[in-house]
Structure formats: C-alpha cells, structure tokens
C-alpha cells in the first residue's frame, strides 16, 4: 500500500464517515412489499417465462469460523454455560463421532478441545463452509453441501447447469476443493444437474490499515503497519467479475435441512421473478425514452446522456413526453420509494429519470424482526435530494439524531442477506458495479490485535454502501427462510435437526 493510500485512510479514521439522513424505516405499510399468494405465484410464473442470460448463486464464505466458537474457546479457560451445553448435547451434533469424542459421560473442556483443536476436528481454524452441519440417515452434510442442494432447487440454467461462485480465503482452498470432490459426482447423479463451482478470493489490494486509539497507524512488533481485510464490502469486486445476469446472494451459514428447503426455494423463485419483472419494466421505460431521442435523428443511448440528449428542442416539453415522465416518476415512487428532486427544465427531467433507471437492480428479502441480529431496511435522503431504499447497519445510524433513533425503534424488519440481483443493462452489456458504490457509507469498528485495542476501517458493505446506487425493492419473506448458524449451539435449532 503506497503512502498516499495510507494517508487517505488515516484521514478517514480522523474525520469518520458522514451519517446518512434517514427519512423513515421501510415497513409493510411503506417500503416493503407484502405479496399475497396470487402475486407470489405470478412472480414464480414470470421467472419461468422470462429470458435471462445465465444464473449464478453467489455465496460469501471467506474467513475462519472463529466467531462461531467464541464462547467455546472461552470455556477452555473458564467453564461456561455454552461449554456445558455443548458437552451435554454433543451426540446430537452432526460432527459428533465416537472415534473423536468417545462415549458419555462427556467433560466440557474435553469436548471443547476435541472440537476446536488439532487434537480432534480442528474446527476452530476451519471455515464454516466445510463444517458438518446436518446429519441424514445416509450422509452428513457440510454447509457448502446444503448450498449445492439448494442451488439445484432454484438456480438451474436452461442447460441443466448450476453455477456457484464461492468467496473463500486462499489458505482454505484445499479444504473447499476436498469438500466439493466428496459430493459433486453423487449430487449431480442424484439431482440430474451439473455443477460449475468457482472459488474466488477477496482481493488483498482491498485490505485497509488499522489505527490505534489515537488514529495513528497501528504498528506490529516488526514495525510494519497492520492491514486487515476490509469487511464484506470488498466482495463487490468479486461480484463484479460474474458474467451471469441473474445472481442470488446468500451467506454460507444460512441453510437448513433439505426437508425444509422447499420454502426457501419457493421464496427465492418469488424474489427472482420480482427482479425480472422489475428489470423488464425498467428496460421498457429506457426504450421509450431512447425512442424519443432517436425519433428526432439523435444517436441511440450510449451510456452518455449528452450523446442521447444533445439538443434543446421543445420535444422535451411535449405533452406525450411529460406524460411518460409522470408515469415513470409514479413507478419509481410506488415500486422503489424514489422521490425525484425537482428538475430545472423538461430536458433535465428526462435526463434525471434516464440516469435513475439505468442502474443495477436488486430485490431483497426482508424478515419481520423477532430479535434476530442484522441490518435493517430504511428509506433515506440521498445527496441529490432524491430518496431511496437502503439497508443500514446499526453503526451507520447516528445515536445523537433523534429522528434516526426514532426510525430505528420503529423498524419492523431486518436484513437476512437474501438478495437477487440483475447485473446487465438493457442492451445486454454488464454494469461496472464499482461505479455504483457510495464511498461515504463505510464505517469504523473496534477490534483488537494480540490484546491491543485498534480501530478497523470497513469498506461500504456488499449489501449496504456497495449497492447504494442500485434500484432496490424490498419484499417480505417468511422467517422460515432465515436459519443462520452464528454460534455452534444454533445447530441445535429445529431447522438443523429435523
């Protein structure tokens, strides 16, 4: 990392990030669509009929599962409730085997040591994706294996292929390749598909420096500056390299047993159908606006508004044009909660709408909040005075802003990371997703290194600031579609045992 980059990041630590201006929480009354059964079926039917240039399942799976075992690690030093529960229920976990853990009675320290260290399974240093999550009569499945099964249920391409892009750390590549090799042939035969698996790494060039509590670069023992992965926001670079048009995003630990996956698959199809409905309506409006320009002999749209609208003729004030603008503004307001700023003239109105339409699309599932952690859906005021739907983390909400705090308290849903994205323009070309990131939406978090406090710089989150300038729709999905494994004891929940 060069000195200019270091100086810029230190300055960001010192200045911080600006708070976003929250208009209101997105709720079922305004901002989150609650679909009735007929609308759900309509979305699924649309998915079956729509043309799409390939589908891909994108699974963030980087990093070790150390946070999953935080309390179990602590139990090695001092007995605690989590360690005792692990020992008392050890035989109920999919990773249990008598060869590793022995027979009852089980001691908590012994179970923790054999689970976490190389004395047993070594799970404390392995990634979640390769951990054994679920037991079946004939097999035991890892989290990655459940994504394979899920993928064939709703992400098949016309040729019978299922594409998976999985973000991993380089040091874990061999473990993931082994996990795939153990299941690929059997699952392809069982489900009648072919799997295309791509492993991709978080680019080291996206790492950011850490600073001490005085905002000076954090120095390691050898005098070098400590750098850290800059959060999941760095994965926008990985997403940007995907060629397929329709991408489903779901975290590696959000899986359930196959008997319960029908609900997940159905709602993924609903979200994909809504995304394609949205795509085609937006493409229709873009085509209509381009026809206005081309009808006067102007160049077709080339991603350059001046090329598309080079004149100042009165065509922009025609009643037909203004009626189309009225319709588009009503669509943006009702479907995407976008209130457009007042333009200076008729031509600018068309230009503003054209630019607002021509953006990547995401449809995000939202779950009613019943105490689960996660960012939330809000309507915010943008820098250009328009409004938009955004997913915010708690760290992005100003605790001293009474309106923002009130909006947080009034929020009814949270973000389970259940997204469907459309990544191509109306002409079939790919969006450069890096052009739609808001660099002012990162945040600073508190961490530690070898017992020393530090501050870390998080890039705009993948589904937060990295998608800030996308066209966004929120759809309520049932809680049954959200079954994360944040701690090892979550594997005792019904969704992982039925």
Annotated domain spans of the chain? 3-65+126-281+357-496, 67-125
First vs last C-alpha separation in the chain: 49
- Residue with the bigger pLDDT between 131 and 299: it is 131
Confidence band of 303 (pLDDT split at 50, 70, 90): very low
Q: 430: which 2 tokens?
A: 């790919």
Dihedral sign (CA 7, 9, 12, 14)? negative
pLDDT of residue 299: 38
Cβ-contact 129, 61 below 8 angstroms:
yes
Listed ranges 195-199, 390-394, 407-411; the one with the highest mean pLDDT: 195-199
Q: For the chain, state the CA radius of gyration.
A: 25
Is residue 1 scored above 90 in pLDDT? Answer: no
pLDDT of residue 375: 75
Confidence band of 374 (pLDDT split at 50, 70, 90): low
Least confident of 305-319, 369-383, 479-493: 305-319
3-65+126-281+357-496: CATH superfamily: Spore Coat Polysaccharide Biosynthesis Protein SpsA; Chain A (3.90.550.10)
Q: 359: which 2 tokens?
A: 């953006």
Q: How far apart are CA 246 and CA 272, in angstroms?
A: 8
Mean of all residue pLDDT scores within the chain: 92
Least confident of 77-91, 110-124, 178-192, 438-452: 438-452
- Residue with the bigger pLDDT between 233 and 142: it is 142
Mean pLDDT score, 62-88:
92
HSE, CB side, 13 Å, CA atoms: give it for residue 40. Answer: 14
For 197-231, what is each residue's pLDDT tens digit?
999 998 888 889 999 999 999 999 999 999 988 87
Q: How far apart are CA 340 and CA 386, in angstroms?
A: 5
> Over pLDDT 70: what percentage of the chain?
95
Is residue 371 scored above 90 in pLDDT? Answer: no
pLDDT of residue 372: 62
Mean pLDDT score, 273-302:
80
pLDDT of residue 298: 45
- Residue with the bigger pLDDT between 19 and 338: it is 338
Residue 363: closest CA among 295, 279, 244, 254: 279
pLDDT of residue 373: 57
pLDDT of residue 295: 60
pLDDT of residue 302: 43
- Tell me 435's DSSP state: G
pLDDT of residue 498: 67
Confidence band of 449 (pLDDT split at 50, 70, 90): confident
Mean pLDDT score, 133-154:
97
For 308-322, what is each residue's pLDDT tens digit?
544 445 678 888 899
The H or E element containing residue 380 is strand 376-381
pLDDT of residue 446: 85
pLDDT of residue 296: 53
Is residue 58 scored above 80 in pLDDT? Answer: yes
């Amino acid at each position: 990392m060069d000195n200019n980059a270091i100086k810029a990041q230190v300055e960001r630590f010192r200045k911080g990030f600006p708070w976003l201006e929250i208009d209101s929480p997105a709720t079922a009354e305004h901002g989150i669509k609650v679909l009735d059964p007929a609308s759900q079926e309509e979305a699924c039917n649309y998915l079956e009929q729509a043309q799409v240039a390939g589908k891909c399942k994108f699974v963030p799976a980087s990093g070790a599962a150390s946070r999953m075992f935080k309390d179990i690690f602590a139990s090695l030093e001092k007995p605690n409730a989590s360690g005792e529960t692990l020992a008392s229920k050890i035989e109920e976990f999919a990773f249990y085997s008598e060869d590793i853990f022995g027979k009852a009675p089980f001691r908590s320290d012994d179970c923790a040591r054999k689970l976490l260290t190389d004395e047993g399974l070594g799970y404390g240093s392995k990634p979640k994706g390769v951990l054994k999550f679920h037991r079946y009569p004939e097999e035991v499945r890892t989290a990655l294996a459940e994504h394979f099964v899920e993928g064939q249920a709703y992400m098949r391409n016309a040729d019978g292929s299922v594409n998976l892009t999985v973000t991993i750390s380089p040091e874990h590549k061999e473990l993931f390749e082994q996990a795939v090799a153990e299941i690929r042939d059997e699952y392809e035969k069982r489900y009648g598909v072919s799997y295309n698996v791509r492993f991709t790494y978080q680019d080291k060039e996206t790492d950011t420096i850490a600073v001490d509590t005085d905002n000076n670069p954090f120095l390691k023992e050898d005098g070098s500056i400590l750098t850290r992965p800059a959060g999941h926001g760095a994965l926008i670079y990985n997403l940007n390299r995907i060629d397929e048009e329709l991408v489903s995003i779901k975290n590696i630990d959000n899986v359930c047993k196959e008997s319960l996956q029908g609900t997940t698959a159905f709602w993924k199809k609903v979200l994909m159908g809504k995304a394609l409905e949205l795509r085609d309506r937006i493409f229709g409006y873009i085509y209509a606006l381009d026809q206005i320009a081309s009808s006067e002999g102007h160049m077709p749209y080339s991603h350059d508004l001046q090329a598309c609208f080079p004149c100042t003729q009165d065509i922009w004030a025609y009643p037909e044009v203004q009626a189309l603008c009225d319709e588009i503004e009503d669509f943006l307001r009702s479907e995407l909660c976008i209130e457009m700023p007042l333009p200076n003239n008729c031509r600018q109105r068309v230009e503003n709408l054209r630019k607002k339409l021509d953006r990547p699309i995401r449809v995000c599932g939202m779950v009613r909040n019943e105490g689960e952690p996660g960012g939330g859906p809000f309507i915010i005021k943008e820098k250009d005075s328009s409004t938009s739907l955004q997913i915010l983390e708690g760290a992005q909400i100003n605790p001293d802003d009474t309106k923002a705090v009130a909006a947080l308290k009034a929020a009814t849903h949270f973000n389970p990371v259940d997204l469907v994205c459309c990544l191509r323009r109306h002409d079939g070309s790919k969006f450069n997703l890096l052009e739609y990131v808001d660099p002012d939406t990162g945040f600073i978090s508190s961490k530690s290194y070898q017992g020393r406090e530090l501050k870390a710089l998080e890039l705009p989150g993948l589904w937060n600031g990295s998608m800030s300038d996308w066209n966004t729709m929120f759809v309520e999905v049932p809680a049954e579609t959200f079954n994360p494994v944040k701690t090892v004891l979550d594997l005792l929940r019904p969704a992982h045992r039925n």
